[in-house]
């Protein structure tokens, strides 16, 4: 998919406008347990594409050795499953390009971290 982030507050979204809010709410409900912030504010969501009853989410982690990686992916799948229409397939892919940097964090997350 390789969508590029437009800014640090949001992520690229492709798909029906009616799904933007439920998908965003689902992703914002997922917390990175290492920093106690949602994955959108941390900048882990690289992009989302919704088409043909399937949602593809690209996420990155703060490091390749992130011990919470599997938990975060599972939480994304669970959160989307509760907010998407019945029958939608969910695919979450970990990507390493673009690499995560603190610049991906939202203004809110940077303030929380004292940056």
Q: Residue 4 domain-assigned?
A: no
Q: Residue 107 domain-assigned?
A: no
Q: For the whole model, what pTM was predicted?
A: 0.90
Q: pLDDT, tens digit, for every residue of 16-60?
A: 999 999 999 999 999 999 999 999 999 999 999 999 999 999 999
Coil, helix or strand at residue 13: strand
Q: pLDDT, tens digit, for every residue of 72-109?
A: 999 999 999 999 999 999 999 999 999 999 999 999 99
For 39, the domain range is 13-101
Contacts of 83 (CB under 8 A, 6+ apart): 22, 23, 25, 26
Q: Residue 40 domain-assigned?
A: yes
- Specify the CATH number for the domain of residue 23: 3.30.300.130
pLDDT of residue 12: 96
Asked if 29 and 79 touch (Cβ cutoff 8 Å), the reply is yes
Q: Residue 2 domain-assigned?
A: no
Number of structural domains (the chain) is 1
Asked if 102 and 110 touch (Cβ cutoff 8 Å), the reply is yes
Q: Residue 93 domain-assigned?
A: yes
Q: Residue 1 domain-assigned?
A: no
Q: 77: number of CA atoms within 13 Å, CB side?
A: 12
Q: Residue 8 domain-assigned?
A: no
């Amino acid at each position: 998919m390789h969508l590029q982030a437009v800014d640090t507050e949001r992520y690229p979204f492709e798909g029906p406008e009616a799904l933007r809010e439920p998908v965003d709410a689902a992703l914002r409900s997922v917390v990175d347990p290492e920093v106690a912030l949602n994955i959108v504010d941390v900048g882990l969501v690289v992009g989302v594409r919704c088409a043909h009853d399937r949602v593809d989410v690209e996420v990155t982690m703060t490091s390749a050795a992130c011990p919470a990686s599997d938990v975060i992916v599972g939480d994304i799948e669970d959160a989307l499953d509760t907010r998407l229409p019945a029958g939608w397939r969910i695919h979450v892919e970990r990507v390493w390009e673009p690499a995560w940097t603190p610049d991906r964090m939202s203004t809110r997350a940077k303030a929380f971290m004292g940056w």
